[in-house]
Structure 1
């Protein structure tokens, strides 16, 4: 006779944002935390945080040798890659371990290390141990997508999960993909002195961004790196230590291959169908506005149920799920009305709201203004020639529909526009309802708003 599953009040699958579900409301609940990999999830261990630590070092390296136009002679003498890697993970790894140790120390929390799979209605199995819960939170995130390319199974490759722990820098790096991961890691390795090639079937990098931003970004990056764009990939092969990507247009060869071809949600890997949890056609867990799945008592948050796959979106979800489980008579929906994002490449990119091409496809009227950094005193001091802020607004309500910035400090500059977007301010209120520091780069936002 099979043993009954161990029962918990709350089961959380995934310890990224899922770990933050455990607010003080659940201090007297019996809780199970399940993690198949390193405690803390993607963002802490192999995503946003380590990548930005590498990006900051890359920004410093890239700046060297690019100051001559200011009358400042500078050059990059070299980079000590093992020290850079050690700095990053010497700080991150103890945080991950400390987080797990803390959860182990709590009397009401049991941590399970291993792959979780549904084996029945609200029943999970981890390393042969079955457990169930009154509430189950699916926060298992996403994983790199490995495209079905001929020959790929026969060559070594890295993804964003592994490439940041390379023991030494390659001479040549080939990146497949043209999204934010390719852009950020391409910047990191190029700035460190690696010869970087980006292979992408689209003719533009960051093609999900506003068309003017994407075009400008592609032009700038193409001047730094070898970009093989707009040609289908035929296959991949290896000769000795060299890996070659074959496209219809040409071959691209390097020492290391990095796949940056997107990410897949992990719902199917959990076998959620065995519990009756519905997935959409793209594999995301289907939820209602309160993040309830199709099974009562099963919730989902973050990358497993959102195509945006952003940490700040997952954090917003976490707050909502934690509140809703603890307060079933006072349900709250997370606010996804204007999800901002940023790309920490060179140049930096940030945006909130609709792109111009989306508004055009929708047939929606809009006002548009684009102002270059060079129109501001600080941008003029920088001698910047490529950066700009772009704003789109409704001609009747004069509220912001979208905002897009490319250039230094873009993720910081966009925040004032995010605030205006979220609070429903008109562009006039944003432009004239506050004083802008002079001379600061924020004036590029002011000037763009005034132009509408």
Structure 2
């Protein structure tokens, strides 16, 4: 058995773990990184990267089939599903070197390609190596949650970890789960020529603002995606190519392939956390606001910490760890400024409080300002007018923003900046946006906050008339 001592031990080479390892090593700390599976984790290999590559292929096919509104003849796209999936793999391969063992060794990180398990509060065994570390960061991420639905264990099914291995296009894809993953994959596959049915036990896109989510769901239904809500799967049966999902109310949905997209579970099973005195919750590892576990030497970041499960959250957490565990500076994580987006068409994005959450928290102090995409000249020119922005404002400061429409995932960045820095609506209104851009919807939303104060105020009108009388 070989023994290694280090300053920082990172368990998991996904987005968060890689960021901690790279930052700590470049600042001079001794770093050991453990990864028993693929470098880059879920995001690179099974999540953000391949799904967005597939969505891009679907967007291209959809554009061919809907070009006549621009004066260009519609054509039926000739989709080679195998070639589409090769495009997905090419994208992964292009990005992979950034997350590779070679790159991190070049940064000074000792990379061990084994799973790790605690044997004490400061020691982790990985294969034939025992690592003793001053600080340990658990960044093992999450995996697809597969619920114990009767019959599921007898039927071939896909998750996001196996979906991108397909090379033949599904004739009819059944998707159990109407969250972001389910809806993104539903639209992408529909645009690539598959029949698609989404089966959701509650409401689709439940965690988003209902008004903005409804616009997305209407768009998907308009493209031919069947979305069954309040349809809790109670039994699954069939064989490859002929699968049936029966719901609690007796509905039966038939398809050729089944994708399970009902959520995620934290990857903690291999870690032997009890040996290190680390407690867990139903969602993942228990952490405080500094991301410390119940073992003061050990941190948990990203999905495994049981909070918001987004790649950019793992990256944000990594920055907290660099400040705290590497530089010894005080640092605490918060969630009020964390944005998220669903990359359907139209896109759906959120930061801070939704309208319902803001009304519950702030009551009569809340003002909601809106601006429709139908009033944006760039959206009109590109025929992408389905959408709106609404900003929740309390005493002149935004506390949340919901956007649905083209490039909503890009537009939400401004409001994430505003919330992170406690900015005022007047600062947003002072921005000059180039014309014509979709970004003008942000400025117009800020303007909508001030319009009634300027144009509907009796006092303003009186003041203007007085000024006009005195001006030479």
What's the CA shift string for 1:277-298, capped at 9, x where partnerless?
A: 1222x23222223222221221
* 1:12 paired to 2:13: no
SS of the residue corresponding to residue 299 of structure 1 reads strand
Structure-2 separation of matches of 1:23 and 1:185: 32
The 1:448/1:340 distance shift into structure 2, 3 A limit, reads same
Structure-2 separation of matches of 1:249 and 1:314: 41
Query: Residue 400 of structure 1 corresponds to which residue in structure 2?
Result: 398
Structure-2 separation of matches of 1:387 and 1:104: 42
SS of the residue corresponding to residue 140 of structure 2 reads coil
CA positional deviation for 1:334 = 3.9
Structure-2 separation of matches of 1:435 and 1:43: 35
Q: Is the 8 A contact 2:286 2:306 kept in 1?
A: no
Query: Residue 275 of structure 2 corresponds to which residue in structure 1?
Result: 274
Larger radius of gyration between Structure 1 and Structure 2: 2
* More moved, 58-67 vs 115-124: 115-124
The 1:357/1:264 distance shift into structure 2, 3 A limit, reads same
Structure-2 separation of matches of 1:94 and 1:14: 21
Q: Is the 8 A contact 1:205 1:217 kept in 2?
A: no
Structure-2 separation of matches of 1:448 and 1:128: 59
Residue of 428, 445, 448 corresponding to 2:442: 445
SS of the residue corresponding to residue 65 of structure 2 reads coil
Q: Is the 8 A contact 2:339 2:416 kept in 1?
A: yes
Q: Is the 8 A contact 2:156 2:240 kept in 1?
A: no
* 1:45 paired to 2:45: yes
Query: Residue 417 of structure 1 corresponds to which residue in structure 2?
Result: 415
CA positional deviation for 1:104 = 7.3
The 1:114/1:157 distance shift into structure 2, 3 A limit, reads farther
* 1:258 paired to 2:259: yes
The 1:447/1:372 distance shift into structure 2, 3 A limit, reads same
The 1:32/1:435 distance shift into structure 2, 3 A limit, reads closer
Aligned ranges for residues 307-322 of structure 1 at < 5 Å? 307-322=307-322
Structure-1 separation of matches of 2:427 and 2:319: 30
The 1:353/1:98 distance shift into structure 2, 3 A limit, reads closer
CA positional deviation for 1:246 = 0.6
Structure-2 separation of matches of 1:94 and 1:357: 42
* More moved, 68-77 vs 369-378: 68-77
Instruction: Give unmatched runs, 5+ long, in structure 1.
Output: none
Query: Residue 357 of structure 2 corresponds to which residue in structure 1?
Result: 358
SS of the residue corresponding to residue 173 of structure 2 reads strand
CA positional deviation for 1:374 = 0.7
Query: Residue 22 of structure 1 corresponds to which residue in structure 2?
Result: 21
Query: Residue 294 of structure 2 corresponds to which residue in structure 1?
Result: 294
Query: Residue 368 of structure 1 corresponds to which residue in structure 2?
Result: 368
Q: Is the 8 A contact 1:7 1:131 kept in 2?
A: yes
SS of the residue corresponding to residue 19 of structure 1 reads helix
Q: Is the 8 A contact 2:428 2:446 kept in 1?
A: yes
Aligned ranges for residues 80-159 of structure 1 at < 5 Å? 80-93=80-93, 95-96=95-96, 99-102=99-102, 105=105, 109-127=109-127, 129-159=129-159
Query: Residue 326 of structure 2 corresponds to which residue in structure 1?
Result: 326
Q: Is the 8 A contact 2:18 2:99 kept in 1?
A: no
Structure-1 separation of matches of 2:118 and 2:433: 54
CA positional deviation for 1:335 = 5.0
CA positional deviation for 1:141 = 0.6
Structure-1 separation of matches of 2:333 and 2:307: 15
SS of the residue corresponding to residue 33 of structure 1 reads strand
* More moved, 409-418 vs 100-109: 100-109
Structure-1 separation of matches of 2:426 and 2:322: 38
TM-score (norm 1): 0.91
Residue of 427, 430, 441 corresponding to 2:428: 430
Structure-1 separation of matches of 2:119 and 2:30: 21
Structure-2 separation of matches of 1:370 and 1:242: 46
Aligned length: 444
What's the CA shift string for 1:54-90, capped at 9, x where partnerless?
A: 1112111112222323333222331222222222223
Query: Residue 209 of structure 1 corresponds to which residue in structure 2?
Result: 208
Structure-1 separation of matches of 2:29 and 2:446: 50
Query: Residue 339 of structure 2 corresponds to which residue in structure 1?
Result: 340
SS of the residue corresponding to residue 364 of structure 1 reads helix
* More moved, 145-154 vs 365-374: 365-374
* More moved, 252-261 vs 421-430: 421-430
Structure-2 separation of matches of 1:271 and 1:64: 52
What's the CA shift string for 1:333-376, capped at 9, x where partnerless?
A: 34533101111112211111101121233353311123221112
Structure-1 separation of matches of 2:44 and 2:105: 21
Cα RMSD for the two superposed structures: 2.3
* More moved, 187-196 vs 355-364: 355-364
Q: Is the 8 A contact 1:231 1:249 kept in 2?
A: no
Structure-2 separation of matches of 1:435 and 1:111: 47
Instruction: Give unmatched runs, 5+ long, in structure 2.
Output: 450-472
Q: Is the 8 A contact 1:34 1:113 kept in 2?
A: yes
Query: Residue 453 of structure 2 corresponds to which residue in structure 1?
Result: none
